[in-house]
Amino acid sequence: MDLLQLSDLQPADIRHIWSLVNDGASPVLSGTVGWSCEGSGIRTRTTFIQAFRQLGLAFTELPRLLQTSERPEDLAGYLDPFYALYVVREPDHARLSAFAKASRRPVINAMSAQGHPCEVLTDAYYIDTAIQPLRDARVCLWGPSTNVFRSWHELAQVEGFELVQVCDRHFHEPLPQVAFAEPSHLPGAVDIVITDSSPAHAGSGAAAQPALTPLTAEHLAALGSPALLPTPPFMLGRELALDPLAYPGFVGYAQKQLLLPVQAAIVRWALASKADCSAGQGATQVSSQIGL
């Protein structure tokens, strides 16, 4: 099964993926990953490559996989015989979706302009296991909507919990499961605050500059001194007015270590799901040692 956006999943899919994290199994998979990571993506690149190695998967770098004029269906038709799955970090979400639709292999979105599902599944897993069950947690997004926040919006709809998003009124949207608030009218105590790099257009133009409100120590105190999870890379003075290392509730470094086991679980889930759907169709076979 593909993982392009969290709205495509069911709650059972999410719980299945999470059940594979540190489940004690030592799966040995077979096959080769078609791996394309546009942009720097230093954390995404680090943890996915380590996940492939841990799972026994070979991988081939495919630079600019979807950034040529070649049709997605032709790319999939030529490449599918050589790969068990694709993991792709590609800004153009529509082109990534077209490629996934054409391919007979699972495709994992390692980040697009529309969403960052693997990152958000990791963050949500941390909240669910280290803070309190996700459906009971008070999760606050700080700032205007980004690809990370879009994936949080989707997850809230799938799982049926409400998010709080704090940003200037200019950025408020009518979204299900999202309660918007302004920095001057904070919603009370929350369990965790998540920030993300502000969209490039959000601060463009003199009139828009005041609409970006960096998170301060005073804001965190008014929110009940919650855990702080800045999505990297963060910039002091833009998303954050305080150094998170000086804040006792900063959980970023330790929490992001979960990217590796969660991404490995996503790969296992995608391969197993696609293997179930492709049985008897001549698809690349996944080793019987998957252990699912």
Give 115-147 pLDDT, tens digit per residue.
Answer: 999 999 999 999 999 999 999 999 999 999 999
pLDDT above 50: residue 289: no
pTM of this prediction?
0.91
Q: What pLDDT is attached to residue 279?
A: 43
Local confidence band at 104 (pLDDT 50, 70, 90 cut-offs)? very high
- Find the distance separating the first CA and the last CA of the chain, reported in whole Å: 15
pLDDT above 90: residue 93: yes
Helix 117-126 vs helix 11-19: crossing angle, to nearest 10 = 70
User: What is the average per-residue pLDDT within 41-48?
Assistant: 95
Mean pLDDT over the full length of the chain: 91
Backbone angles phi, psi at 71, to 5 degrees: -65, 145
User: What is the average per-residue pLDDT within 93-97?
Assistant: 98
Q: What is the pLDDT of residues 155-180, one digit of tens each?
A: 999 999 999 999 999 999 999 999 99
Local confidence band at 276 (pLDDT 50, 70, 90 cut-offs)? low
- d(CA 286, CA 276) in angstroms, rounded, equals 10
The SS3 of residue 136 is: helix
The Cα diameter of the chain in Å comes to: 60
User: What is the average per-residue pLDDT within 32-46?
Assistant: 94
Local confidence band at 212 (pLDDT 50, 70, 90 cut-offs)? confident
Local confidence band at 273 (pLDDT 50, 70, 90 cut-offs)? confident
| Strand pairing class (192-195; 139-142) | parallel
The SS3 of residue 56 is: coil
pLDDT above 60: residue 202: no
Structure tokens at 220: 């965190």
pLDDT above 50: residue 19: yes
Q: What pLDDT is attached to residue 210?
A: 53
Local confidence band at 58 (pLDDT 50, 70, 90 cut-offs)? very high
Which residue shows structure tokens 């709080």?
164
**Of 152 and 199, the one with more pLDDT:** 152
Q: What pLDDT is attached to residue 288?
A: 34
Determine the residue type at 124. Answer: A
Q: What pLDDT is attached to residue 274?
A: 60
